[in-house]
Chain A
Amino acid sequence: MSSVPSLVQSVDWLALAPPTLTAAVALVVLVADLFLPAARKPLLGWIATAGLALAALSLLPLLGGDRRTFCLSGHPDVCSYVADPFALVIQFLVLAGALLTALLSVDTIRDHDLPAGEYWFLLLSSAAGAALLPASRDLATLVIALEVASLPAFALVGLRRGDRLSSEAALKFFLSSVAATAVMLLGVSFLYAATGSLHLSRVAHALTALPDPRLATLASAGVALTLVGFAFKTAAAPFHFWVPDTYVGAPLPIAGYLSVVGKAVGFSGLILVTVQGFPSYAGVWGPALAVLAALTMTVGNVAALRQDPRRAHSAVRLLAWSSVGQAGYLLVPIAAAGYLHDPAHAIGSTVAYALMYAAVNLGAFAVAAVVARTRPANRITDYRGLYHRRPLVALALGFFLLCLAGLPPGIIGLFAKVTVFSAAVDAGLAWLAVVMAVNVVIALYYYLQWTTVLFRGAEETAAARAPEAAPAQAPHRTDIPAPLATAIALAAVLGIALSGAPQLVLRFASGALL
């Protein structure tokens, strides 16, 4: 159908640096693993962390302008890879999120005897895919990036060998994700058949005026199936059921990684296809996403509310369900974009919210990792009296939870919610704003309940646990390892800095990113 493009495309390696560097370091780690003696395996972690930091730094030279590469010859506007502000912000989120995850992982790998080489390789590969995705501007690259980001994640979830929960989690995650990919591929092929192109800008153009009106049904089916695929990836209700079990079964840092980077990948893909690919179908995906958003936040928050704090792993379960609820908030501006003339403006709210969420949610997971070292069951009741044992850690967790709830002193959480609300109000989605308001209150209940547990007196807990805990707490277990402490400190400093100067992330909500 389409003319055969010239095979020689310009390649701007500088623009490609963030995902490429990550992938290259992944290979270095894999090879180095073969030659390092077991005693020196921790070195791999530091290589990986340094690689992620380097990849994040490689974003700096790109800040200036819109770099494009892999463009069709003769059509400099139609490119497969674009390093525009949107791509850079999401890449920063992904790489910084992966960096924090890496800091959390260092001790988890040692304590749980996870295979270090595989672990770091898989984490970096997944991060490379996630960094590629926001910059990709054609459907094929998008699907490939999505798979590169997800496939290593299945393996990471199932990495705890011999653990039934872990294998079950990996299987659930794998099956639901593969189903999503299959559906999405079908949608993409329909779209290709209907429009004759895979580049988002061309698809968008072709959808406004299809070459053959009889293809309209095929095109609509393609749009719907592609969106369903992304809804799976973002864990939007009713495609969210894999989340809690996967998070509980996965190693803790990976759960945090999935909740932040996994979500960022799903959302940036969704933003790209809706706003860049199918703007002419805004009348369809706008309302559909609005309904999905309402459903997702309600399901997630109600389920989080019903978690029994005494159940094993209830802390991670609560974070898992609350991340489903937060995904609902993230969907709101995308839905609002369907109602606005200037959709790029609305999605900035999602980006701003995602940045805030990434910092504080990873912080919360980092504290959960600290607690899990002495209390492997990681029940919410295990956090009782944390303030008396570790005041700073408890204050940090309290701050993260209040940021997630959106209450002062978590000012950034509050204003991130305000931008999401204002996107909804601006688009005239009053009902969605009201649903979200109710959800914010529900969410506050469980976040605050957890916060109060932190500060509750530890007297009887300490008394009850003293005999059993004393021998278990070997000296090296009671002090927080440096990487974990760094991760918590980084997240807390980010959160506090953003609370003082919310403009740092909220400026994305006002400027056009795409």
Chain B
Amino acid sequence: MNHTAMQLLLAGLVVLPLVGALAALLPAPPGLRGKNPDQAVLRHGVTVTGVVLAAAIALATGFDHGHPARMQATTDISWIPALGIRIHLGVDGISLPLLVLTALLTFLCALYSYFRMPTGPSPKAFVALLLTLEAGTLATFAVLDLMLFFLAFEMVLIPMYFLIARWGGAHKQAAAWKFILYTLLGSVVMLLGLLLIGVKSGTFDMVALATDNGPKAQLSHTVQLLAVLAIGIGLAVKSPMWPLHSWLPDAHTAAPTVGSVLLAGVLLKMGTYGFVRIALPITPEGMHTFAPYLAALAAVGIIYGSLACLALVRKGAGGDLKRLIAYSSVGHMGFVLLGIASMTPTGVNGALFANIAHGLITGLLFFMVGALKDRTGSTDLDTLARSAPGPRPAGSGAAALLPAPSGAALYARAPRFGGLLAFGAVASLGLPGLAGFWGEMLAMFGAFRPAAGLSRPAFLTFMVLAGLGTLLTAAYLLLVVRRVCMGGSVDLAGAAVLGNPDPDGGTGADPDGTPAPAPALPDLARYEYAAWTPLAALTVLTGLWPAALLGLTDPAVQQLLGGGK
């Protein structure tokens, strides 16, 4: 494909959703009215996101896979000469997978909402906000100018705020406020860092900055330190990094299904992408100084996230399944940050891989939890796993593995649904052969041998902590599978003694032989197959063929870390 076509495709990726958002607010033209206005506008959303997805796939096909380190489909025109801001777009091996992931997830979200619109005000505004959100996220990954990056970063705030505040569940107002205030405070601080870079170096162009800051760095050490600190805070809030994560569980819990999927699937990636695209190449010295702290906080985040999940999954804790997956995101993003902090090609590649994997798997999980809530009316773990009336004796560990006679075991009530949920959980815990495995393993490899100059003992400690985190992650996810899918009452103490493999082994064996005492739930509907199969398939595909993704990112990462050579 020639250069102009690629340029148009990339520009179209950013502009199309915006045009679509505006069009969604206008009355439908004759011939496209559909059955009623709501249906017409939802269909409009599916069409636009579908076209965007097609453009993203075309872009990926036209992408020169032989030179993923080179910026392709570049557009570079002056926009605000007064501030030296240029409309500079481009795509390389780092941003291409994220662009495709964003387009895919948004399309699936639009498709899902077409059949199951979240309760709230008119779908018109919903579709317009969804499309604006998509434009902002795609722009974040496509722009190569620091100020445009900031603009795109901010662009997603308002749509996400309204998605949570208007279509969300309980405590939606408070959660939406927490989300926007945290992120905005972070991004304003980030703006200061970006301006510092721009003022000191005289350009906002990411490519130029990344190229110049190899050995002949223009930015002095102090400037780099300040810039990384400011930019890092903004990106860390978004990522989110412990201890700046506390907006995330609330936002996820309150958000509508589609909001949660996009929040976890794409919005969090904007933070880590910023680290890779801005902090690593433009301010390498500053990043070098802060890398151990970033890694330490990432490791704490991994442990913290999994401990919080373990606390939530406990019987009688009244834990919310959505909240649990949100906390698991804190842990997973900890791996991504650890990989970035190692500053090695291995670690950064792992981080980028984990980014995509997390987007696929957690997106799938949030979809399923949302659907589960629609079916049972609750995401409360105790309700979902409601066991026999009387408490079971704690000693009968083995018996507890069997579903309770009157339990709400998902396997019995909706076997396919339960199976897919178990698949998502197992993928999330990093089972080899699925997408979750490679990213986290590579991130830990990166920490095992961090970049020259970084304290190896410290990073080894972080790696061990991360390793412990994977065990804890496996523990809580398997407990989730056992409680939600198999039902039955399990107290945490018993489960911890039993260890991990048992429930895992149980996943395949139990459901068939058990009769379904509880009223059956509707199993996977056709539209749910349509929305979720791509995610599941890609999880398997990237798990089995990681080279497809690593081949794209690795050359680009090598170039970024090597100072643009």
Residues of chain A having any CB pair with chain B under 8 Å: 352, 402, 407-409, 411, 414-415, 418-419, 421-422, 425-426, 430, 433-434, 437-438, 440-441, 444-445, 448, 452, 455, 457, 502-503, 506-511
Q: Is B251 an interface residue (CB 8 A)?
A: no
- Among candidates A411, A437, A507, residue contacting B81 with C-beta atoms closer than 8 Å: A507
List, in ascending order, chain A residues with CB within 8 A of B196's CB: 425
A502 touches B80 (CB 8 A): yes
Q: Is B184 an interface residue (CB 8 A)?
A: yes
Minimal Cβ-Cβ distance residue in A for B226: A430
B166 touches A455 (CB 8 A): yes
Interface string of B171-210 (1 = CB under 8 A from A): 0000001001100110011011001101100000000000
Bound together, the chains give a CA A84 to CA B187 distance in angstroms of 38
Bound together, the chains give a CA A419 to CA B151 distance in angstroms of 14
Known pairs A421-B195, A457-B121, A503-B81; A414 contacts B166 (CB<8 A) = no
Minimal Cβ-Cβ distance residue in B for A509: B82
What would 19 more interface pairs be, CB under 8 Å, given A507-B81, A510-B81?
A: A407-B157, A408-B136, A408-B157, A409-B155, A414-B154, A415-B147, A418-B195, A421-B195, A422-B195, A425-B199, A437-B192, A448-B161, A452-B162, A455-B166, A457-B121, A506-B82, A506-B83, A508-B82, A510-B83
B192 touches A434 (CB 8 A): yes
Interface string of B115-148 (1 = CB under 8 A from A): 0000001000100000000001000000000010
Interface size counted on chain B using CB atoms at 8 A: 34
Taking the nearest CB of chain A, how far is it from the CB of B317, in angstroms?
Answer: 33
Taking the nearest CB of chain B, how far is it from the CB of A450, in angstroms?
Answer: 14
List, in ascending order, chain B residues with CB within 8 A of A430's CB: 192, 226
Bound together, the chains give a CA A411 to CA B136 distance in angstroms of 13
8 contacts between A and B (CB under 8 A): A402-B158, A418-B150, A421-B195, A437-B191, A444-B181, A452-B165, A503-B81, A507-B82
Taking the nearest CB of chain B, how far is it from the CB of A20, in angstroms?
Answer: 32
- Among candidates A411, A422, A437, A502, residue contacting B188 with C-beta atoms closer than 8 Å: A437
Q: Is B79 an interface residue (CB 8 A)?
A: yes
B184 touches A444 (CB 8 A): yes
List, in ascending order, chain B residues with CB within 8 A of A352's CB: 82
Interface string of B74-92 (1 = CB under 8 A from A): 0000011111010000000
List, in ascending order, chain B residues with CB within 8 A of A402's CB: 158
List, in ascending order, chain B residues with CB within 8 A of A418's CB: 83, 147, 150, 191, 195
Interface of B is mostly: helix
Top 7 nearest A-B pairs (CB, nearest first) are: A510-B82, A506-B82, A437-B188, A408-B155, A425-B195, A507-B82, A441-B185
List, in ascending order, chain A residues with CB within 8 A of B151's CB: 408, 411, 414
Taking the nearest CB of chain B, how far is it from the CB of A140, in angstroms?
Answer: 35
Bound together, the chains give a CA A426 to CA B198 distance in angstroms of 10
B154 touches A407 (CB 8 A): yes
A506 touches B80 (CB 8 A): yes
List, in ascending order, chain B residues with CB within 8 A of A440's CB: 184, 188
A441 touches B188 (CB 8 A): yes
List, in ascending order, chain B residues with CB within 8 A of A407's CB: 154, 157-158, 184
- Among candidates B161, B166, B198, residue contacting A422 with C-beta atoms closer than 8 Å: B198
Bound together, the chains give a CA A94 to CA B226 distance in angstroms of 40
Taking the nearest CB of chain A, how far is it from the CB of B525, in angstroms?
Answer: 30
Bound together, the chains give a CA A434 to CA B165 distance in angstroms of 29
- Among candidates B79, B147, B184, B226, residue contacting A503 with C-beta atoms closer than 8 Å: B79
Bound together, the chains give a CA A440 to CA B85 distance in angstroms of 22
A503 touches B191 (CB 8 A): no
Taking the nearest CB of chain A, how far is it from the CB of B154, in angstroms?
Answer: 5
Bound together, the chains give a CA A444 to CA B185 distance in angstroms of 10
List, in ascending order, chain A residues with CB within 8 A of B181's CB: 441, 444-445
Bound together, the chains give a CA A426 to CA B192 distance in angstroms of 11
List, in ascending order, chain B residues with CB within 8 A of A419's CB: 82-83
List, in ascending order, chain B residues with CB within 8 A of A444's CB: 180-181, 184
List, in ascending order, chain A residues with CB within 8 A of B82's CB: 352, 419, 502-503, 506-511
Bound together, the chains give a CA A284 to CA B248 distance in angstroms of 46
Taking the nearest CB of chain B, how far is it from the CB of A499, in angstroms?
Answer: 11
Bound together, the chains give a CA A502 to CA B86 distance in angstroms of 12
- Among candidates B83, B155, B191, residue contacting A509 with C-beta atoms closer than 8 Å: B83
- Among candidates B158, B162, B180, residue contacting A408 with C-beta atoms closer than 8 Å: B158
Minimal Cβ-Cβ distance residue in B for A434: B192
A448 touches B180 (CB 8 A): yes
List, in ascending order, chain A residues with CB within 8 A of B226's CB: 430
List, in ascending order, chain B residues with CB within 8 A of A511's CB: 82
